[in-house]
Amino acid sequence: MEDEKIIRQEGLDFYKSKIEPSQKYHAVDDFHELKMRLDDFYAPESKAIFLDEIANKIAEDLQKHRDKSHGGQPGINCEKERKPPKLLFYIKQELGTLPLVAHQRSLSNPQQTRNKVFISYSHFDKDILVDVQRHFKPFINQIEIWDDSKILPGQKWKEEVRKAIDQTKVAILLISTDFLGSEFIANNELPPLLQAAEENGAVILIVILKPCLFEEFDKLNQFQTLNPPNNPVIKMDNTEREETFVNLVRQTKKILSAE
């Protein structure tokens, strides 16, 4: 991850030299300067990491100001809070067009061992599941993937699903209308997966497969997606589709290797 360290340091340096001391009145002017700096990075992943670092610093410093001056709450009519939220808005819009940079929350239950990758999907989307599995196949000795095809005849399937979720560190959600409409997923998979993300350091990675009203589901839309909802997998050409799944594997490997 040496390249990522370099890019993040570049982001931190830019923040300290350009964003933090900026005297520009409008946040969009800072954002335009930031966009020009992005041209120095060729790969979309590098652009995303650079922006992610800057967004983290803006949010961190904004919260420090609120903790110090406003009891941790937004300051009404505070001049120091005029630009940061707007700049974060512009940055988040830009990040929505770039590959996901995944983050793992700190563990509240570090004794619970989590090392599996759980793929949640609708059986109507099994053809795309096969494509996702193809991209993980070169790393079969490094990454333990679980989906319901692992359940053997005669096994108690609900128990097997729950057992796998209890060991999940990365949950990949393949979202479509059929996924969102699945009672089994809604009742048996999503609640424990979301709880694991909230309490036990599991990470949710979302891929939008088909057009759907993803934004209407508040428990899910709080998570950034690998691809924008307006650019689902089935609309992609073959190259973009392959790049999306490559980034899915890349982010999964990064999370699993994090100490």
Domain containing residue 183: 116-257
Q: Does residue 84 form part of some domain?
A: yes
88 plus 129 within the same structural domain: no
Same domain, 80 and 27: yes
Q: Are residues 140 and 242 in the same domain?
A: yes
The three-class DSSP label of residue 81 is helix
What is the per-residue pLDDT for 155? 53
Backbone angles phi, psi at 205, to 5 degrees: -115, 125
What's the whole-number average pLDDT of the chain? 86
Domain boundary among 37, 63, 95: 95
Instruction: Tell me if residue 146 falls in helix, strand or coil.
Output: strand
User: Residue 154: pLDDT band by 50, 70, 90 thresholds?
Assistant: low
Q: What percentage of the chain reaches a pLDDT higher than 90? A: 41
Please state which of the ranges 54-63, 76-85, 88-97, 151-160 shows the lowest mean pLDDT.
151-160
- Residue 106 pLDDT: 47
Return the half-sphere exposure (C-beta side, CA atoms, 13 A cut-off) of residue 237.
Answer: 1
Nearest of 55, 26, 63, 21 to residue 38 by alpha carbon: 55
Distance CA(202)–CA(116), nearest Å, equals 10
**Based on the domain organization, do 200 and 75 belong to the same domain?**
no
Of the pLDDT bands very low, low, confident and very high (cuts 50, 70, 90), residue 75 is confident
175 found inside a domain: yes
Half-sphere exposure of 167 (CA within 13 A, CB side): 13
85 shares its domain with 122: no
- For residue 167, pLDDT over 70 is answered with yes
Residues 86 and 131 grouped into a single domain: no
Secondary structure element (H or E) that encloses residue 219, with its range: helix 218-221
Query: Same domain for 123 and 183?
Result: yes
- What pLDDT shows up at residue 137? 93
**Cα 252–255–259 angle (5° rounding)?**
155
Asked if residue 33 is part of any domain, the answer here is yes
| 108-145 pLDDT per residue, tens | 454 555 678 999 999 999 999 999 999 999 998 888 88
Q: Are residues 140 and 89 in the same domain?
A: no
Q: Encode pLDDT of 4-24 as tens digits.
A: 889 889 999 999 999 999 998
